[in-house]
Structure 1
């Protein structure tokens, strides 16, 4: 899906094309956004800005996605030995139909459309988006189906430790609905990555606390296909460490699991 298998993850109101370009030396993918697409989620975003949350609130969210992806198109130079940076866009919607148009835009740029079932802000959940979708898998799958009709690569951003939510079952359901990736904020439950990876044929991106070799390798040992860096996504020292660790893992150059047990090379 992308190489190197390190992504930077969206931070609302901060994750734009300029942010992604600054990290492109170290990562294979950048998830921009999140951006609210419909009336209820845009109103929720306005309420969130009233209490000093950073949010993108352009007049036309679809045009904003188009402009940001255009700015990233071909972001790596022709003589760069790495593949071009793969863009993704994290979106929030209370209903499936507004997703269709932005998914088509993502497809035009070979970008990943990422559905946000992760945001835990009260306003966004009350609007029927964010982690409220994890509690209503039928609605989440409806959004996945609409997105997958337009865009070849659909990811779903989720979080662990939500009471009553069976993430492996969510993974199976969204895979059946057409998703190709799941982006898991593991919170303090790193082993959940293994459960999700075993549950469905999805590209698993592990997130939360990825800072160095040890944290990257822990997630990869649980079966993650890639890792993503969130808050320190603008720190080149951290990004370089994570890229080096990830490339070593997939090249087979690592010598032991995070618990210290030797593994064959």
Structure 2
């Protein structure tokens, strides 16, 4: 799916093409965004900005996705875009853009801010498997490579079962914020054939080794993704503990 199996994870209002370019010497993929696509999601994002959170709020969000991934056409990194929407149509539009640039589309079922959950974005999708399944299917039907960013430790949510649901809908990968339950990675790996990206606390050899031992196909770095010292350290650990050679390519066929 991408090599080396190290990704830069989206940082709201910060993860753009320049950020991805800066990390391209270390990582095989960069998840830009998140971006609010439809009006309800954008209204929630404006509320977040009003309380001092950074958000991408361009006039035309789908065009913004297009420009950002196009800016990475000459960069040796696989771009991806993390998207939020209450309605499926803008997700389909963004999926087509990602498909045309050989980029991944990542549906955000992860953000837990009250404003986003109140309108039906982010973590609320973990509790609405039918709607999430429909989003994944419609996006995957465009021919785009589609995945979902999810969060562990959400009460009432069986993450391995949800992973099976999105896999049957056409997802190719799942990006798991393990929170403080790193072993959930093994549960998801055992439940599906999805490409599993482990996220949360990836900083050094110990954390990469732990996720590798649980069966992760790749890891991602969030907050320190703009810190070359951390990225150097994590990349060295990835080269030691995760398959970066022919075995990885065979895994992804």
Superposition TM-score, scaled by structure 1 size: 0.91
Q: Deviation of residue 251 (structure 1)?
A: 5.2
**Structure-2 residue corresponding to 1:257:** none
Question: What is the Cα deviation at residue 182 of structure 1?
Answer: 0.2
Query: 2: CA distance between counterparts of 1:250 and 1:23?
Result: 19
1:164 pairs with 2:144: no
| Alpha-carbon distance in 1 for matches of 2:143, 2:34 | 17
Instruction: Decide which moves more: 92-101 or 166-175.
Output: 92-101
CA separation in 2, counterparts of 1:4 and 1:149? 27
Q: Contact 2:217–2:242 (CA<8 Å) still a contact in 1?
A: no
Structure 2 partner of 1:149: 141
Distance 2:10 2:143 in 1: 19
- CA contact under 8 A between 1:112 and 1:151: conserved in structure 2? no
Partner of 2:88 in structure 1? 96
Q: Say whether the 8 Å CA contact 2:44–2:116 is kept in structure 1.
A: yes
- Structure 1: distance between partners of 2:155 and 2:57: 31
Contact 1:99–1:147 (CA<8 Å) still a contact in 2? Answer: yes
**2:250 matched to which residue of 1?**
none
Structure 2 contact 98–144 (Cα < 8 Å) conserved = no
- Asked whether 1:53 is paired with 2:45, we answer no
Counterpart among 98, 104, 107 of residue 106 in structure 1: 98
Shift, 1:151, TM fit: 3.6
Q: Alignment partner of 1:194: what SS? A: helix
Equivalent residue for 1:17? 17
**1:122-173 residue CA offsets vs partner (Å, 9 max, x unmatched):** 0100110100000000000000001101143111000000000000000000
Task: Tell me the SS of whatever aligns to 2:80.
Answer: strand
Q: Distance in 1 between matches of 2:176 and 2:100?
A: 26
Conserved in 1, the CA contact under 8 Å of 2:198 and 2:211?
Answer: yes
Confirm or deny: 8 A CA contact 1:35 1:57 kept in the other structure.
yes
Match of 2:248 in 1: none
State yes or no: 1:222 paired with 2:200: no
- Cα distance between partner residues in 2 of 1:246 and 1:217: 8
Q: Which runs of 5+ in 1 are unaligned?
A: 76-83, 253-265
Structure 2 contact 218–242 (Cα < 8 Å) conserved: no
What secondary structure is seen at the aligned counterpart in 2 of 1:150?
A: coil
- Structure-2 separation of matches of 1:5 and 1:251: 8
Query: RMSD in angstroms over aligned alpha carbons?
Result: 1.0
SS at match of 1:56: coil
**Alpha-carbon distance in 1 for matches of 2:207, 2:84:** 28
Q: Distance in 1 between matches of 2:189 and 2:121?
A: 24
Pairing 1:210–2:202 present: yes
Q: Distance in 2 between matches of 1:221 and 1:155?
A: 22
3-state DSSP of counterpart to 2:31: strand
SS at match of 1:163: coil
Counterpart of 1:71?
A: 71
Poorly superposed stretches of 4+, deviation over 2 Å: none
Counterpart of 1:176 in structure 2 is 168
Q: 1: distance between equivalents of 2:194 and 2:175?
A: 10
Cα deviation, 1:165-218, whole Å, max 9, x if unaligned, reads: 000000000000000000000000000000001101100000000001110110
Matched, 1:37 2:22: no
